[in-house]
């Protein structure tokens, strides 16, 4: 599996070619062999999706190929998710997460949510295409510590600013922080829209949220 390297491993190939049955079977076998789920995600699964994106840019892949790759990725992730979210009883904080309005990409957001659950947080996942008001009303309802917003498109990342504004105008502006992430998002962009934090990947998001909820 991952010891054969990211590109070209059987799981990588199964996801890239949209072989959902294969990706599930290979993931089951790797987990049974004791392979670290984080290695599967970082060495095989994410690189396969990145390659799908590269092929899409080069017009070797079209939307249907992206969709079947995503389906194969999700099948494998469904097996891994419970392993990421095993945790103790007491939540260390509450996080509302979703993909910004106009954006339907949910794999990275789902991964961030699962890793946060694994880090001991109670996570309320609002799904995709989430309006700014929906983020904030859920955060108010749940007295959330953090609102986490994902975007994968340069055209939708600008809508993150609306979520920041809605939070600043809300009753929980003093108690709830907002973090942003997703492939096109940068620390500079996060600063420019007044977000409280940015992280590049799912495990960095856990470290970031932890530092927000329990500052050193």
Give the residues lining the site for ligand B1M (CB under 6 A): 46, 49-50, 52-53, 56-57, 63, 66-67, 69-70, 102-109, 111-112, 148-150, 152-155, 179-184, 199, 201-202, 205
Of 139, 96, 116, which is closest to residue 203 (Cα–Cα)? 116
Of 12, 32, 28, 4, which is closest to residue 73 (Cα–Cα)? 12
List, in sequence order, every beta strand (DSSP E) within the chain.
Answer: 94-99, 122-125, 146-150, 177-181, 197-198
The set of residues, in sequence order, having a beta carbon less than 8 Å from that of 55 and lying 6+ positions away, is 61, 65
Helices and strands (H and E) in the chain: how many: 10, 5
SS3 91: coil
CB 172 within 8 A of CB 139: yes
Cβ at position 117, least distance to ligand B1M in Å: 14
CB 76 within 8 A of CB 111: no
Cβ at position 137, least distance to ligand B1M in Å: 18
Of 144, 138, 150, which is closest to residue 198 (Cα–Cα)? 150
């Amino acid at each position: 599996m991952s010891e054969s390297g990211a590109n070209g491993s059987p799981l990588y190939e199964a996801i890239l070619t949209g072989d959902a049955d294969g990706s599930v079977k290979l993931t089951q076998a790797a987990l049974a062999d004791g392979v670290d789920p984080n290695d599967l995600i970082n060495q095989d699964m994410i690189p396969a999706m990145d390659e799908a994106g590269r092929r899409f840019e080069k017009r070797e892949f079209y939307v249907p190929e992206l969709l079947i790759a995503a389906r194969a990725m999700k099948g494998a992730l469904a097996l891994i998710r419970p392993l990421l979210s095993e945790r103790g009883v007491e939540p260390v904080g509450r996080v509302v997460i979703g993909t910004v309005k106009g954006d339907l990409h949910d794999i990275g957001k789902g991964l961030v949510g699962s890793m946060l659950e694994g880090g001991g947080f109670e996570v309320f996942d609002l799904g995709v295409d989430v309006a700014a008001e929906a983020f904030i009303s859920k955060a108010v309802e749940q007295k959330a510590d953090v609102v986490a917003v994902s975007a994968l498109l340069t055209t939708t990342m600008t809508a993150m600013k609306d979520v920041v504004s809605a939070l600043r105008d809300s009753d929980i502006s003093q108690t709830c922080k907002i973090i942003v992430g997703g492939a096109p998002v940068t620390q500079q962009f996060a600063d420019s829209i007044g977000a409280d934090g940015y992280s590049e990947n799912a495990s960095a998001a856990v470290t970031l949220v932890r530092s927000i909820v329990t500052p050193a």
